[in-house]
Structure 1
Amino acid sequence: MKETKFTMNYSFPKNAWYACARDVEVKKELFARKIANEPLVMYRTSDNKVVVLQDACWHRLLPLSKGKLINDQVICGYHGLNYNKEGRCTYMPSQETINPSACVKSYAAVEKYRYIWVWMGNPTEADESKVPDLHWNNDADWAGDGEVIYGKCNYRLILDNLMDLTHETFIHGESIGNDAVAEAPFEVTHTDNSVTVTRWMLDIDPPPFWKAQLDKEGNVDRWQIINFQAPSTITIDVGVALKKTGAFEGDRSQGVNGFVLNTVTPETDTTCHYFWSFCRNYDILNQRRTHELRAGVSHIFSQDEDILEAQQIAIQNNPGREFYNLNIDGGAMWVRRIVDEMVAKEALD
């Protein structure tokens, strides 16, 4: 690959669905979270619908999340202004006439795939069909669970990390990594809004994590198929099967298959919310295995957290620093190009 460079770009598109919470996080009470540099407050109404509003009272900008939720109305904790689910003020103290400009911004929200998604941009473009596909999270043929990580780094650094799994060899050698990951060839393909990196490792010694999942002796054929969905969702089709049993040709019956689901939401320029889950299509009724896998993957991701936080600090200490790309950065480079084009298009609209 021709040598190329880039400097850190902190931008993000707003005309997109971003996960703002796991479904279990949002209850019939006020819940605050900052998304794309904007403070939000969210809650469920009496009919269980999710509402997302700007977290700042029209009157004096006190965060509404410091107030109360009564009869599906948000009551400001400072002077008692009431707001309905559309963000319109319905009550002001000591006056009968309500200022017609008294409202807070309401955001389009969708509950899908065990997440709450919010559209931060032009509400007329909030098409539910554009929610990234994470159907494995609530598919009856798959079992899994996950968490949300508060990432102390720009969201793009996590996308870089997920698009190139070579680092498994060096960061996760005791669990999912070995030399085969760094040595295996890979292929990068792309469309206008997606990128796929495909890597097969044939007839290799399985790393500890996958040897335990397969629970069979002998070498394996291992796959990693990484699929990016703009602007910040990455699904990774992973697994191993006994060598030469047909996995490479499409028959995975002699193996175990999982999907690592990742969607990364910018909070600020240097922080993000990282929603992940690990889903599997084997031993799906074993709840104990689900808990053990969640804990195991959580530990793996905590190692990435340490690396990415240190990287973010180094970037801030070296503003304007140019970064080189290697062949292994091919997928991440296409991701950056697609996201940059989305941002540039919004700037023209």
Structure 2
Amino acid sequence: MASPPNAPPTTWPKNAWYVACTPDEIAEKPLGRRICGERLVLYRGQGGRAFALEDFCPHRGAPLSLGSVRDGDLVCGYHGLTLGCDGKAVSMPGQRVGGFPGVRAFPVLERYGFIWVWPGEADLADPARLHPLPWAESPDWAYGGGLYHIQCDYRLMVDNLMDLTHETYVHASSIGQKEIDEAPVTTRLDGETVVTSRFMEKISAPPFWRMALGGAGLPEDAPVDRWQICRFSLPSHVMIEVGVALEGHGGYQAPADKKAASIVVDFITPETETSHWYFWGMARSFAVGDAALTDTIRQGQGKIFSEDLQILEQQQQNLLRHPERRLLKLNIDAGGVRSRMLIDKAIAAEQVPVPVDA
């Protein structure tokens, strides 16, 4: 079913899987989170499964996320109305609840170390449409990450990640270097994926990558070949293959013992028109058993992304102050522009008017 006539336009596709939270966020109590404009409560219910309901008690409108879980059911923290995982009333002290209205239940998946929610039409929620993450199920990879709540349009983060030229300036002390500006960028469409690539040869590794080389047991000061391959896929995911290899061993194609290779993981979940949840991390294929290195990389990456956060939030405020100004589109913006085109196409497909019976 498409959107009804005269429905307000949205800036995100709804018929898609978005990361809602990590398992630890609902380990002890319900979690309230707004996703694609919908206020949800996420919790562990029957059998320890993750569920998501509308965060609204049908009794007096209190947020269900302020309640608790009892015997797998969600109990409102205001007057004790108990709801099942399907959103229907189960019981309430001193009351008959058979005629109580229910609340909306949202499709949920738990996979790859994340809790995913489908904020659109439930009958279209197909697990096969979940973004594949083969590294998340492989013992040959290690992962560490975090979460930022960022006050800007989620598409500004997509723009940021699909054009890494900003690293030279925003991340000068960690991953930035002048060679990023100098290396040519190519952008292409691979099916429903936008791919932006940049390769740098025979350069010095910046501080973050010197640390990674050391973690991989390689000389930190050796000349390297470096690569950045950004892949955007709907609804708002960006996976970035990054790494450095000892110079002269094939760069991106170098054998595993000659490089430090990783995937920067970016799940960008819209909250409102001007805010989003940013689940970030790095999956790596070297020194996978080194927990201390995972911690070091997580801390370093967290600092890098906090620098993006400051820029993006200030950018959003400028755009709100000057809505009449048109932004420039340069060749380095091609990845972000094409990604937005895919987003707009997906939104348009959901906005087809519903036929009205004669």
Q: Are residues 1:323 and 2:322 paired?
A: no
More displaced 10-residue stretch of structure 1: 44-53 or 171-180: 44-53
CA distance, structure 1, for counterparts of residue 45 and residue 10 of structure 2: 35
2:130 alignment counterpart: 131
Residue correspondences, number? 340
CA distance, structure 2, for counterparts of residue 182 and residue 323 of structure 1: 20
Return 5+ residue gaps in structure 2 as ranges: 1-8, 354-358
1:264 alignment counterpart: 268
CA distance, structure 1, for counterparts of residue 315 and residue 109 of structure 2: 33
- Post-superposition offset of 1:138: 4.1
5 Å matches for 1:159-238?
159-215=158-214, 216=219, 217-238=221-242
The answer to whether the 8 Å contact 1:237/1:257 transfers is yes
Q: Are residues 1:79 and 2:79 paired?
A: yes
5 Å matches for 1:130-149?
130-149=129-148
- Post-superposition offset of 1:96: 3.2
TM-score, length of structure 1 as denominator length: 0.93
2:344 partner SS? helix
- Post-superposition offset of 1:11: 0.4
- 1:256 alignment partner AA: A
- Post-superposition offset of 1:95: 4.0
- 1:41 alignment partner AA: V
- Post-superposition offset of 1:70: 1.2
2:279 partner SS? strand
| Residue of 299, 302, 311 corresponding to 1:298 | 302
The answer to whether the 8 Å contact 1:246/1:252 transfers is no
- Post-superposition offset of 1:287: 0.8
1:55 alignment counterpart: 55
- Post-superposition offset of 1:258: 0.8
- Post-superposition offset of 1:279: 1.5
- Post-superposition offset of 1:135: 3.3
1:308 partner SS? helix
- 1:299 alignment partner AA: K
2:356 alignment counterpart: none
- Post-superposition offset of 1:249: 4.7
Change (3 A) 1:221 1:154: same
CA distance, structure 2, for counterparts of residue 200 and residue 78 of structure 1: 57
- Post-superposition offset of 1:71: 1.1
- Post-superposition offset of 1:62: 0.9
Change (3 A) 1:95 1:254: closer
Give the % identical residues: 38
CA RMSD after TM alignment: 1.7
Q: Are residues 1:333 and 2:337 paired?
A: yes
CA distance, structure 2, for counterparts of residue 347 and residue 253 of structure 1: 50
- Post-superposition offset of 1:219: 1.5
The answer to whether the 8 Å contact 1:262/1:277 transfers is yes
2:33 alignment counterpart: 33
The answer to whether the 8 Å contact 2:202/2:247 transfers is yes
2:339 partner SS? helix
CA distance, structure 2, for counterparts of residue 183 and residue 76 of structure 1: 58
- Post-superposition offset of 1:252: 4.9
- Post-superposition offset of 1:69: 1.6
The answer to whether the 8 Å contact 1:143/1:279 transfers is yes
Change (3 A) 1:174 1:82: same
2:232 partner SS? strand
1:32 partner SS? strand
More displaced 10-residue stretch of structure 1: 76-85 or 220-229: 76-85
- Post-superposition offset of 1:94: 4.2
- 1:121 alignment partner AA: G
- Post-superposition offset of 1:205: 1.7
Give CA deviations for 1:37-84 in whole Å, capped at 9, x if unaligned: 111111112522101100001122111112222111112222322110
TM-score, length of structure 2 as denominator length: 0.91
